């Protein structure tokens, strides 16, 4: 049981990092950015180039990666999202699929598909808990995910700018009439969401070992599942969903250790997601406020 919880926490942090960025973008734009994972992967290539190829310290690579990702988000907002201002949100979501393809092609063209390695900010095995080594990067990631979720929630709820983000997502015209700088808000959300994808990728890659084009998308899709379980419009709910998903995944696997049913844990996860969607479509931890946003 101890190991289930520790591994649930380790893998849950991975899912939660992606889930919280899903929630931020969804809360601020009412759409899902399917290119999110690949924005993270491209940012890893930037970090790899700065750290491994150019010999800069890890932190410089991380800053470059986050800045690069934010720039991608801002440019995408300016040239794709903004012209689609009046379009249905599903149209914007489909546009992000186009961005996903573009980023994949860019990575293949610029860096090839060879696997690359990028270490974490601190090397070493880390701390041993219940027989499982939790690396220092994973410990940092755990802290980062909590801080980011609390910060995002507070900013959205307690600041004028955050309320402006929510208002713009609800009704852009009304928000504009109320003096909310809708375009600036939109640019911020897409840029911040992309930056978060970079943070997630940087903190996850030392756990996975290597990365290549397309690597983060699989994890990102789990982030979406986590966000759906916890609450698509709730950053804290999305994090809880991440930990719940990972614990459920490993708990099932551990319970049926010698099962011959392939992919049993995925069957269980699918069942849980379906139950959540039917019983509580806005997610398990969605509050009245976030339900409104969803």
Task: Using CB under 8 A, list all residues that contact another protein.
Answer: 3, 7, 10-11, 14, 32, 34, 37-38, 90, 93-94, 96-97, 100-101, 104-105, 108, 112-115, 117, 125, 131-133, 135, 206-210, 212, 214-215, 217-219, 221, 224, 228, 249-250, 253-254, 257-258, 262-263, 266, 277-278, 281-282, 294
CB of 265 to another protein, least distance (A): 9
CB of 111 to another protein, least distance (A): 9
Tokens 């219940």 sit at which residue? Answer: 130
Measured distance CA(233)–CA(240) in Å, rounded: 13
CB-wise, 131 or 179, nearer to another protein? 131
CB-wise, 95 or 180, nearer to another protein? 95
CB of 144 to another protein, least distance (A): 17
Contact 34, 22 (CB under 8 A): no
Eight-state DSSP code of residue 81: I
CB-wise, 3 or 170, nearer to another protein? 3
Tokens encoding 87: 């379009």
CB of 69 to another protein, least distance (A): 18
CB-wise, 10 or 19, nearer to another protein? 10
Which residues in 92-238 belong to E strands, given as ranges? 127-129, 132-134
CB-wise, 153 or 217, nearer to another protein? 217
CB-wise, 14 or 149, nearer to another protein? 14
- Angle (nearest 5°) at CA 288 between 283 and 289: 100
CB of 130 to another protein, least distance (A): 9
Eight-state DSSP code of residue 84: G
SS3 134: strand
Contact 245, 12 (CB under 8 A): yes
CB-wise, 2 or 85, nearer to another protein? 2
- Residue 57, φ and ψ in degrees, nearest 5: -65, 160
Tally Cβ neighbours within 10 Å of residue 206.
Answer: 20
Q: What residues does 129 pair with on adjacent strands?
A: 132
CB of 281 to another protein, least distance (A): 5
Measured distance CA(259)–CA(253) in Å, rounded: 8
CB of 65 to another protein, least distance (A): 19
């Amino acid at each position: 049981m101890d190991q289930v919880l520790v591994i649930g926490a380790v893998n849950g942090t991975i899912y939660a990092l992606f889930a919280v960025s899903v929630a931020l973008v969804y809360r601020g734009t009412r759409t899902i950015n399917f290119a999110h994972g690949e924005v993270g992967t491209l940012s890893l290539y930037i970090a790899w180039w700065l750290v491994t190829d150019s010999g800069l310290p890890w932190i410089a690579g991380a800053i470059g990666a986050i800045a690069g990702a934010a720039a991608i988000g801002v440019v995408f907002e300016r040239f794709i999202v903004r012209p689609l201002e009046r379009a249905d949100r599903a149209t914007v979501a489909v546009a992000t699929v186009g961005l996903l393809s573009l980023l994949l092609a860019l990575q293949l063209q610029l860096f090839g598909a060879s696997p690359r390695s990028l270490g974490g900010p601190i090397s070493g095995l880390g701390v041993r808990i219940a027989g499982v080594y939790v690396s220092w990067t994973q410990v940092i990631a755990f802290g980062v995910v909590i801080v980011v979720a609390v910060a995002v929630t507070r900013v959205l709820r307690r600041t004028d700018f955050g309320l402006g983000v929510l208002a713009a997502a609800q009704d852009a015209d009304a928000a504009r009439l109320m003096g909310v700088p809708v375009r600036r808000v939109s640019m911020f959300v897409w840029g911040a969401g992309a930056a978060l994808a970079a943070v997630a990728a940087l903190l996850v890659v030392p756990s996975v070992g290597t990365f290549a084009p397309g690597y983060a998308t699989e994890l990102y899709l789990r982030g979406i599942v986590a966000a759906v379980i916890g609450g698509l419009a709730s950053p804290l709910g999305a994090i809880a969903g991440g930990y719940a998903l990972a614990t459920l995944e490993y708990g099932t696997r551990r319970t049926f250790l010698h099962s011959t049913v392939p992919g049993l844990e995925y069957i269980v996860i699918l069942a849980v997601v379906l139950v959540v969607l039917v019983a509580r479509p806005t997610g398990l931890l969605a509050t009245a406020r976030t339900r409104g946003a969803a």
